[in-house]
């Protein structure tokens, strides 16, 4: 289990910055977080879109006016953060382990 970050900074129109106990820092743009939502319904949609790029998006996705922003965030125990987005999505619980695994600033490990 990944330890919680030492510092959490959410700029609702920009992104989430986390400072970890090992001295590293992670930055997640808002649109990146939304695209990588760990919510079950979003994972299913990502799988469908991978199989069929012409998948019809559910109402409320991709149809908002204005830029995507975070409208709220809440800590979930000591293991995660839940972010609400301006497009209405609010069911993704981003665990610290999950965020470490999708950190766009870290090189992807190749296990070949």
Instruction: Encode pLDDT of 51-95 as tens digits.
Output: 777 666 554 555 556 899 999 999 999 999 999 999 999 998 999
Domain coordinates in residue numbering, the chain: 7-102
> What is the pLDDT at residue 50?
72
Long-range contacts of 83-91 (CB under 8 A, 24+ apart): 83/10, 83/16, 83/33, 85/30, 85/34, 87/34, 87/60, 87/61, 87/62, 87/63, 88/60, 89/34, 89/37, 89/39, 89/42, 89/60, 89/61, 91/37, 91/39, 91/40, 91/41, 91/42
Give CATH for domain 7-102: 3.30.2020.30
> What is the pLDDT at residue 108?
61
> What is the pLDDT at residue 105?
85
> What is the pLDDT at residue 40?
63
């Amino acid at each position: 289990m990944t330890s919680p970050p030492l510092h959490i900074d959410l700029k609702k129109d920009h992104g989430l910055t986390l400072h970890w106990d090992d001295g590293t820092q992670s930055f997640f743009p808002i649109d990146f977080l939304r695209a990588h939502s760990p919510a079950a319904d979003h994972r299913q949609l990502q799988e469908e879109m991978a199989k069929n790029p012409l998948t019809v998006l559910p109402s409320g996705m991709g149809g908002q006016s204005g830029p995507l922003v975070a409208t709220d965030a809440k800590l979930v125990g000591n293991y995660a953060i839940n972010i609400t987005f301006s497009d209405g999505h609010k069911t993704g619980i981003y665990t610290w382990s999950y965020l470490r695994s999708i950190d766009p600033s870290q090189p992807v490990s190749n296990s070949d």
